[in-house]
Structure 1
Amino acid sequence: MVDTLGLLLGVMVTSADTGDRTAAQVMLKQVTDAHHRLALVWADGGYTGSLVEHCLAALALVLAIVKRSDDMRGFVVLPKRWIVERFFAHLMRTRRLARDYERRTASAEVMVYWSMILLMSRRLARPRPARA
């Protein structure tokens, strides 16, 4: 889960037999506990159904589903989806995350946090242009 700047808010790596909607309930609870001002979450069409009502009732969180229109052809990145796609591109620059080397889900989560720390520290260390 990333914010609108593409910075990591939370990550949850699960086994293949765990559904996205089930894991999303747990992750959204963890993220809303850590980020109290969170009010709106954008998600793709895979998160439709009872998760939308659960977010509103249990977490006081609006889950807006960004759907692909029927007239779209080919590969088109949906609005706001490019933020997540850019985040995935940053993760793939970390060699260890380019393949599934991890045996445990916890170590895979740590690798995502490590990759994000590298990205954020590079952004902070970048020289700023001098003000006129």
Structure 2
Amino acid sequence: WIKRIYADRGYRGNFIEAAKHDFGVDVEITHSNYSGQFVPAKKRWVVERTFAWLENFRRLCRNYEETTDSANEMLMVAAVVITLRKLTSVNNSF
């Protein structure tokens, strides 16, 4: 269900062709246009913001889990908590 991956310049080369060939996924490399001011790269700020939110959870800031299944479940729990916090803060503003 993933159709496009946004990556930085570290993922050039064989990664792009392998992702397209093996998984049918387009890879778009974002380039930095630094001009002395902060300008968020296309779509990258969404990923960075999400990682920052997830690092607020103790069990996600380090690799405490023994299996990938339990790590995935902790990620899902964190996503539910983040979503519930957003919903309750919106409802409390009325």
Instruction: Give yes or no for TM over 0.5.
Output: yes
The question of 1:104 aligning with 2:32 is answered no
Q: TM-score, normalised by structure 2?
A: 0.67
Percent of counterpart pairs with the same letter? 33
Q: Distance in 2 between matches of 1:124 and 1:86?
A: 18
Alignment RMSD, CA only? 3.0
The question of 1:88 aligning with 2:68 is answered no
Cross-structure match for 1:63: 27
Q: Distance in 2 between matches of 1:41 and 1:80?
A: 10
Higher RCO (Cα < 8 Å, 6 or more apart) = 1
Tell me the secondary structure at the aligned position of residue 28 of structure 2.
strand
Q: Give 1 or 2: higher helix fraction.
A: 2
Unaligned residue ranges in structure 2 (runs of 5+): none
Unaligned residue ranges in structure 1 (runs of 5+): 1-34
Count of residues paired in the alignment: 92
Q: Distance in 2 between matches of 1:99 and 1:57?
A: 33
